[in-house]
Every structure is written in C-alpha cells, then in structure tokens.
A and B are shown apart, each in its own frame.
Chain A
Amino acid sequence: FPVAPEKEKEDMQFAKKYLENFYDFKEEKTLFKAKDLNQMSDKIREMQSFFGLEVTGELNHKTLDMMKQPRCGIPDIRS
C-alpha cells in the first residue's frame, strides 16, 4: 500500500534492526552512504531469498510485512 510518509524512516530503522538481529547485518559508520545502503540491500536480498520473496534488495511492503511477523529470536543466518 502507499506508505504514510512519516512511516518510511521508521520502517527503515525497523528493517536495519531486524537485519542486525537475524541476518548478521553490521551497519558500519562509513562516510560512504552508498556503501552502507549496498550492504543493507545485500542483507535484504538474503532475507527475501530465505522467505521465498521476490529478491529485489528493496525494502518493499511484502518484505517489510514479513519482517513484522511474530517470530523466533534466533538468527536465520549467522556468521
């Protein structure tokens, strides 16, 4: 659905925490924002692939919705 604008930032934060918890995403405080976003896209791809979603690397609504489902606290992918 169209996302109520103020939620977009909130969703991005939520997704970052989800990927840190379950997909071993480490947000490096780099000066290069693009690099950081690429890393996050890679992790989104891993998560989309695990759940059989369309692998786009983008935080679309189906991906975000899957992230919001009640779940187990153990990571899906670990280093």
Chain B
Amino acid sequence: YSTFPHSPTWKKEDVTYRILNYTPDMLQADVEEAIARAFQLWSSVTPLRFTRVYSGQADIMISFAAGFHGDFYSFDGPGGTLAHAYPPGNGIGGDAHFDEDENWTKFTTYSGYNLFLVAAHELGHSLGLSHSNVFGALMYPIYMATDTRDYQLHQDDIDGIQALYGPPKESPALPTKAFPPQEPTEMIPAEAPTEMSPREEPTEITPSKPPQRPDDCDPHLTFDAITTLRGETLFFKDSYVWRKSPYFSEIEHDTIFSFWPSLIAGFDAAYEVDNKDRVLFFKDDQYWAVSGYSIQSGFPKPIQNLGFPTSVRKIDAAVHDQNTKRTYFFVGKQYWSFNENTQSMERGYPRKIAADFRGIGHPVDAALQKNGYFYFFHGSNQYEVDIKKKKLIRIMKSNSWFNC
C-alpha cells in the first residue's frame, strides 16, 4: 500500500459525506446503497464513523460529472479513467468524482463498472490511501471485475488504512444519518456488527486458480476454439491460449487474461474477419469483437443478432472463409453460413455438416482455415479438408501445429 505525500488523514473519527448528484444509469437508492456499503467497508476496519448529510458542506462530497468538471483533472470519456478522489483536507480534499461517461452498475457485469467497487477504491483515497501495487488489493489502480456479494478488503488495504487510523474500537461503525432525511431512504439492513474476530492468518489473495496448465504435446490435447489473428494462429483451451506466429519458431503459451483481462475464459468459438482486423469470440449465447487487445464497445451481444434462432443457445465452432467471405458456424451436426458482406445468415441453412464437408460426420470443437485448407478439430484429432474438391485430405493430432 502507499499513502499520499505527508500522509494526510482526517483528524477526527466522525467524517461526513454528501451525495451531490446521481448517475442516470442506476436507481438513486442503488447509488446510495453502493456508497454506504463502500463506507461500511472502511469503517469496519478503522475507528472511523461516516455520517451522511443532505445539505451544506461535508468532508467528502461525492458527485458524477463528465469531461471537464471544475478541477484540473478532466475525465476522458468512456473507459480509461473511471473516477478520482482527493486525499483528506479542506475544500476539495476528500471529494470523490465519478466519470458520468461510464456506465455505472449495481452488479458486476460486462457492460459497465460496479459503482460499489469503484467507490470503495476512491473512498480509500478520500481517507488518505494512495495506490497499492498488490494485485487483488482494492487500492490497485486498475479496475478488476470482481464479485462483490461478499467483498472483503485485501490484507494490504487493511494494513494501509490501519497504519493511518488504527484498528476499530469495539464494533464496526455503520454509516448513520445526521438529519431526518428529506427523502425517506431505507437504512441499509446490515448484519448486526459482529465482534471483530481476530483475522485468521491472512492468506495471499490470488485470482481463482486457473485449471492446470495443459501440456503442449499431450497427445490427448483438445481445444475449445481456434482463430487466426493478424497472421498468427491462436489456440484456446480453458483459460489458456497458445500463440503460433510465423515470425517466431517457438509456441508462446499464455493466459487469456494476459491479452483480454475482462473477457471470461472458456470460449466456445472464435474467428477472424481479416479484412476488418476483427476477431469475434463466442461464449454461450453471447459474443465479443476485439481488434488486437481492444474489446470493441457495445459488446457482448446476443448471438441471435447474427440470425440464430432462439433455440440455439451456444455454438461449437466458427471459421471464416476468406475466399467466399462466408463464415461457417457449427452447432451439433449442422452448420450455418453467414454472409459477412451483407451481415446476414444465408438462406437454406442449417445444413448437415457431413453433406458439405466430406468426412466430418461429428460435431466440431474448433475450426480453422489455413494455407487454403480447412481444419476441423474434434477431440484430440483434426481433419484437413479441401472444400473445393470436397475431399478429406488427412487426419492428424490436434496439436500437430506445436512441432511436437
């Protein structure tokens, strides 16, 4: 953890806060709850008590604004900087500003930022903490989409705030009200404060362990999805991706997180539309579009947007044919053909895979077009097919691309 220069703190235990305005993205009551819960996180590990006021000057003034908003740190539109807050002090000291150009949400979703999580981080600044370089700590500078239903502060956060204010006295203080509120708002039903149990030996908080990393040359290796990307070929399995590049001889093996931290691993399918520098990832009934590392805004979208009937809840594999500008989607023993030019599913589909792809009589796990051939992966085997001649060329191990 770290504190601001000269470690400014509030020289009192009773700190007031006021919510100056609201985001239209959420119900006012949800905004108030998120803020109150964020304060409760800090009051539960310090002697501090937070009281909401409804008028006049409070120690911590909370507001939503976009772009330039009266201080020297303008916001930057969607993404990038989400919010900022000032260390304890007079005037703007302690104040927390949230970028209204973001989509604020009550829960952790793909399509927005969880207000409770961001507010808890910013209020850490309002109390005097600066950033932590401990991955998983609340005061880590980067937003980590986390399940907040039973959110616990990282030991690093607790060490930092208690270095400034010490531990709580008897029981965690809950945010209280100073005046009869103008609008009746329900006090957040918090569990009765329990005696602060001596914390077990802090376990290092690490992201949930990804499944065991598969061995590149395991003859039983199977894949979830395969796609090209800017001349490289990416093979996906669970939370891992193998990268085969024409520029380097060895195969790089990474986590999907290291390329797209906000995408959930375990893709069902992926394909590249190379002339648009765009790769689409599919998981269950949603899909995302990325360009390099950047996830395009407005995603995820439902796969029905592509023309699938609601009866299709996920797809097994996808591959784009650069020659015909058609993308083939494989579901069970059938497949669809999608016209990338007209952005619509072609008529007369679905058709049986076996009818048009000789020798492929079973569901497809992943599909790839390379060197003029199609490669269909099923379990630990792949089938090389010349679709012009409608001929199965050969059958190989799925990981034959890894120079085993």
Please give the residue numbers on chain A whose beta carbons come within 8 Å of chain B beta carbons, in ascending order: 1-4, 7, 21-22, 50-52, 61-62, 64-66, 68-76, 78
Contacts and interface: CB of A to CB of B under 8 A. Distances in A.
A54 to B, nearest CB: 12
B17 to A, nearest CB: 18
B113 interface: yes
**Which of A3, A68, A75 has the most B CB atoms < 10 Å from its CB?**
A68
Interface string B100-142: 0010000000000100001001100100001101010000011
B363 to A, nearest CB: 30
Interface string B319-359: 00000000000000000000000000000000000000000
B232 interface: yes
A43 B392 CA distance: 55
Contacts of B122: 72
Given A51-B133, A68-B293, A71-B141, A1 B82 contact: no
A64 B229 CA distance: 18
Given A52-B135, A61-B293, A69-B143, A2 B83 contact: no
Nearest to B279: A1
Nearest to B97: A73
B85 A74 contact: yes
B294 interface: yes
B182 interface: no
B247 interface: yes
A69 B261 contact: yes
Interface of B: 4-5, 73, 75, 79-85, 102, 113, 118, 121-122, 125, 130-131, 133, 135, 141-143, 229-232, 247, 258-259, 261, 277, 292-294
10 contacts: A2-B247, A4-B230, A71-B82, A71-B142, A72-B118, A72-B122, A74-B84, A74-B125, A76-B131, A78-B4
Contacts of B292: 1, 3-4, 7
Dominant secondary structure at the B interface: loop
Contact of A73 (B81, B113, B232, B258): B81
B213 to A, nearest CB: 18
A13 B296 CA distance: 20
B143 A70 contact: yes
B81 A71 contact: yes
Given A1-B293, A2-B231, A68-B294, A73 B82 contact: yes
A3 B292 CA distance: 8
Given A4-B292, A76-B131, A70 B125 contact: no
Nearest to A22: B141
B229 A72 contact: no
Contact of A70 (B80, B131, B293): B80
B142 A2 contact: no
B106 to A, nearest CB: 18
A21 B247 CA distance: 35
A7 B293 CA distance: 12
Nearest to A3: B292
Contacts of B73: 73
A26 to B, nearest CB: 15
Contacts of A68: 79, 293-294
A76 B141 contact: yes
B82 A74 contact: no
A50 B133 contact: yes
Contacts of B258: 62, 65
Given A65-B293, A68-B294, A73-B73, 20 more contacts: A1-B293, A2-B247, A4-B277, A22-B141, A50-B133, A65-B258, A65-B259, A66-B142, A70-B80, A70-B81, A70-B82, A70-B102, A70-B113, A71-B80, A72-B131, A73-B75, A73-B84, A74-B131, A76-B141, A78-B4
B141 A72 contact: yes
Contacts of B229: 1
A51 B135 CA distance: 8
Contacts of B75: 73
